[in-house]
Structures are given as structure tokens and as C-alpha cells.
A and B are shown apart, each in its own frame.
Chain A
């Protein structure tokens, strides 16, 4: 039994490890996980914040060893798994909110003053659904409720500025042309 534990007696059990091949396989996995993480990041953008960062392994570029590649692969896999859970939870919230909007539209009087934004249901833009009384206080007293749908984002300052610049150029062209 003691012989079995001696280092020399284990020599025959050593297995040749293709380290280059192992590193190539790990790099392939890193590439696949990076693609997956990129997709999840894009899917989540504007809906929910994802922790997608994986810290640098090295201060300067170099060939990573097997252990470092494994650590990188594992950290990326962890980020992907966490991102999936976060997105799944967000999708459940958005589904609930969509259902809420449907019920609000069907019976606005049951959801007085409730407001659901497009962001709450995972849609881009700035609009929202708001359960409000028709004709203000009269509607409140009479129970005339409705869901008002806002029309979306106002023009941003930059877009307005571009428009103004185009107008100014057109005017200048008219004056000097």
C-alpha cells in the first residue's frame, strides 16, 4: 500500500496532456461565450443592467496558460448564466406588466391612476399607458375612467438643432444663391 503512494510508482500512470490542444479548446469556448454574452448584453440594453464585465487577466498582452484560460472561461460562463437569469426575471416582470396593460384597457376604473411605461413592458421609446378620469374631476365623480396612451418621445435637442441648421442653410442658400 505504501508503495502505491510513492511518487515513482505513479510514473506509469502519467497521461500525456496535449496542452496546446487544451488551450485551443478553451479559447474556442471563450469565443462562444463572448458571442453569447454580446447577444445577451444587446438584448438587455435599455431594459435591465447586466454585469457583463470580466476583469483583465494580464496587464499586458500575452499567451495565457491553461489555468488562466480556465479561469477566464469560468468567469465568462458565470456572467452568461447570471445574465440569462437576470433577463429571464426581467422578461417575467415585463410579461406581468403587459398583462396589467391589457386589464387596464379592459377595465380602467379598476386601475385608477396606474401608469405603465413602454420601458416597463420592454418596448423602446418613451410612451406610457395611464388610467385617468375622462373630463377631470367630473369623470372622477362619475366613474368615467379611460386609459390614455401617450404619443412617445419628444424631439431631442440635437435633432431639433440639426433641423434648425438645415433651415438656416436653406435660408442662406436662398439669400446668396
Chain B
């Protein structure tokens, strides 16, 4: 991935802004995509990250999960899910998925890095994040609708024309709030990581910046 601001000199990562196809942006003002690129961590989360997860688990309980959808940012994602045809009670928003798992498991379980960094950032801010293998990406990320004959790499079948997707300059990388193409998720052998935030109307820019910053600094703390 050629673009993408990085933490190469050990300074704070600067988010890179992606673009949204003009006709999609006209339908969904406020929709945006941004990311930071980092060296990928590997393996288990260190104790400070695990402790932070435990602290978050202790601060998060059932009442909050019930009232979560009334809070502005989780509500904004729920509304956006509705507006793009998804049922947010079935295809849960990232923050609601984490809340569901917290209630089911009794805690935010550690899954190693970068997953734990994303959990911390999503629970703290409510902003939707995902982690991609930056080496697989080509150019700036965008949100656009799929064209005829396009498909997700490694997945059978073509995408229905007009499916909203996250794409790079080569083609779709994954569905918007859905499955990723094979090999794009940040995995064990990933060397560079792109933490991607999808912003929707009602989610302030500062919350997006904060989410990316929390995730990036947590990954950094894990690597140190």
C-alpha cells in the first residue's frame, strides 16, 4: 500500500483519508473511511493490554448494553445499517457485537493483537474499526458500489451490482460492514497493518481520530 500515513519514526500515527464514490456520498452524506498504517504486532496481548480489557469488562455491564442503542454513535451505526438494508439485530454493528460477546462471555476475552486493540478502541469510542493486511492493499481505500462482474477475492460468485464495498485501486477488499476478501484480514503472517475506521453520519470526526489513535497506541504498546 503506497499511501497511508504511518508511525515509521515512532511518532503518533496520522490518519489517512480515503474517498467515497460521489453518487454514494450524495446518498449518504457523512460517510467516510480513514485508516492508519502500522507495523503489525504478533501473538498474545501483553499484560497491560489484557489488564485494560479486564478494566473495560468491569466498566461494562448489562444496563449499558441495553441503553447502548440510544447513545449517539452506536445509534448512528444502527441507523446506517438500516439505511443500507441490513438488520442491525442480526448483522450487529461492531460495538453491539462486542457488547453481545461481553454479556455472553462475562468479559471481553483476549484474542491477541491486533484484535484486542480494536476491541479497546471500539468499546471506548463506539466507532467501527477493522484491521487489514496493509501489504495486500493497493493505493487509497474507498467506499463505492460494486460494478458489473466484480467479486471479493477468494470468494465464490460475483457481487450483486451496486453492493456497497470497501475497495482499493485494484477492486473490492470487502463488503461494507461485512465479509472481507480472502487474505485481506490482518492475520498471523501480516507484516504491516491498516486499522480502518468507517465513519457514518452522526459520528464526529474527533471520535474517529480518537478510535484510530487508541487502536494504534494499543498496538504500539503491545509491540514495545
Contacts and interface: CB of A to CB of B under 8 A. Distances in A.
Given A54-B82, A54-B87, A61-B164, 19 more contacts: A20-B26, A34-B75, A34-B79, A38-B69, A38-B75, A38-B78, A41-B69, A42-B67, A42-B69, A60-B160, A60-B164, A61-B86, A61-B175, A61-B177, A62-B84, A62-B145, A63-B145, A64-B85, A76-B82
Contacts of B66: 41-42, 45
Contact of B85 (A42, A53, A56): A56
Given A23-B27, A38-B78, A63-B162, A56 B69 contact: no
B107 to A, nearest CB: 11
B97 to A, nearest CB: 16
Interface residues of B, number: 32
Q: Which 5 A-B pairs have the closest CB atoms?
A: A58-B85, A56-B87, A57-B85, A38-B69, A61-B84
Interface in A39-91: 39, 41-42, 45, 52-64, 68-69, 72, 76
Nearest to B78: A34
A60 B75 contact: no
A28 to B, nearest CB: 10
Contact of A60 (B78, B79, B175): B175
A158 interface: yes
Given A56-B87, A63-B84, A64-B84, A35 B24 contact: no
A113 B43 CA distance: 61
Contacts of B82: 30, 34, 54, 72, 76
Interface of A: 20, 23-24, 27, 30-31, 34-35, 38-39, 41-42, 45, 52-64, 68-69, 72, 76, 158
Contacts of A61: 84-86, 163-164, 175-178
B78 A63 contact: no
A22 to B, nearest CB: 12
A68 B162 CA distance: 15
A159 to B, nearest CB: 11
Interface string B56-100: 000000000011011000010011001111110111000000000
Nearest to A64: B85
Contact of A52 (B83, B84, B85, B89): B89
Interface in B28-46: 28
A62 B84 CA distance: 5
24 contacts: A27-B79, A27-B83, A30-B79, A31-B79, A31-B83, A34-B75, A34-B78, A42-B66, A42-B69, A54-B87, A57-B85, A60-B85, A60-B159, A60-B163, A61-B84, A61-B86, A61-B164, A61-B177, A61-B178, A62-B84, A62-B85, A62-B160, A76-B82, A158-B106
A25 B136 CA distance: 39
Nearest to A76: B82
A56 to B, nearest CB: 4
A69 B66 CA distance: 26
Contacts of A60: 85, 159-160, 163-164, 175, 178
